[in-house]
Amino acid sequence: MNLLTGKVALITGAARGIGKAIALKFAAEGADVAFSDLNYDENMAATEKEIAALGVKSKGYASNAASFSDSEKLVNQVVKDFGKVDILVNNAGITRDNLLLRMTEQDWDAVLTVNLKSAFNLTKAVQRYMMKQRSGSIINMSSVVGVNGNAGQANYSASKAGLIGFTKSVAKELGSRGIRCNAIAPGFIETEMTKKLSEEVREAWIKTIPLRRAGKPEDVADVATFLASELSSYVSGQVINVCGAMST
């Protein structure tokens, strides 16, 4: 299939995990892929190579999505290198889990800045290009815990719920310019992020999933591909759960 041929995508936090799976799926559908992560390390170099092996243009950028100025520089550089940005995936995210009793101000600020402010930073930076071309698809990586809340993740849940409000507002504000904005709310997906959890916690999570398995990064990437492509041309302002029916 060539669902994204001729499109340029920018994906944040994509040297590994869900972001990387999205990058590879987009590339397999013909998109040229720019992606960012904190450092130009072996993960980024490997991801860059794997994307390029699919026959599209690929470039990894060291850029902190939590920084407003970094994000602006990143988007301007991507437009210089690739000519435009059609698809933005705000994927970069972190956890600093703790009970509220023990959660520090730093834990709160770090999570809100990386997970929520980053989407503001990047969306601000791409909007003028997307407005000029009168098209664009923005995808924000929320979470089922942004929809439902979760004990021990007050900061993370708040950031992911914030992304949903942001998504709906951007969809309403930029819809008349041909720009769509949607959120994906993954459930429990097997990545480095969830590897931090103990086997006990992992098993408890899986018991609550009607499809009785953890999700794969590719499960999320499939939905991102739908939202990036013209298959979803009349879908905007929505939150799509990818969670094996954990949250309905």
Contact positions vs ligand NAI (CB under 6 A): 12-13, 15-19, 36-38, 64-66, 91-94, 114, 141, 143, 186, 188-189, 191-194
What's the closest the beta carbon of residue 234 comes to ligand NAI, in angstroms?
25
What's the closest the beta carbon of residue 188 comes to ligand NAI, in angstroms?
5
Cα separation, 75 vs 236, in Å, equals: 23
What's the closest the beta carbon of residue 30 comes to ligand NAI, in angstroms?
23
143 vs 155, beta carbon nearer ligand NAI: 143
Cα separation, 65 vs 118, in Å, equals: 5
What's the closest the beta carbon of residue 11 comes to ligand NAI, in angstroms?
10
156 labelled catalytic = yes
203 vs 230, beta carbon nearer ligand NAI: 203
**Sheet containing 58-62: order of strands:** 58-62, 32-37, 8-11, 87-90, 136-141, 179-186, 239-242
59 vs 177, beta carbon nearer ligand NAI: 59
72 vs 177, beta carbon nearer ligand NAI: 72
194 C-beta neighbours (distance < 10 Å), count = 16
40 vs 52, beta carbon nearer ligand NAI: 40
- Catalytic choice (40, 61, 129, 156): 156
Cα separation, 47 vs 179, in Å, equals: 28
What's the closest the beta carbon of residue 141 comes to ligand NAI, in angstroms?
4
135 vs 218, beta carbon nearer ligand NAI: 218
What are the backbone dihedrals phi and psi of residue 35, each rounded to the nearest 5 degrees, phi first? -145, 155
Q: Using CB atoms within 10 A of its CB, is residue 36 exposed (0-12), middle (13-18) or buried (19+)?
A: buried
What's the closest the beta carbon of residue 246 comes to ligand NAI, in angstroms?
10
The CA-CA-CA angle for residues 144, 147, 152, to 5°, reads 70
Catalytic (active-site) positions: 156
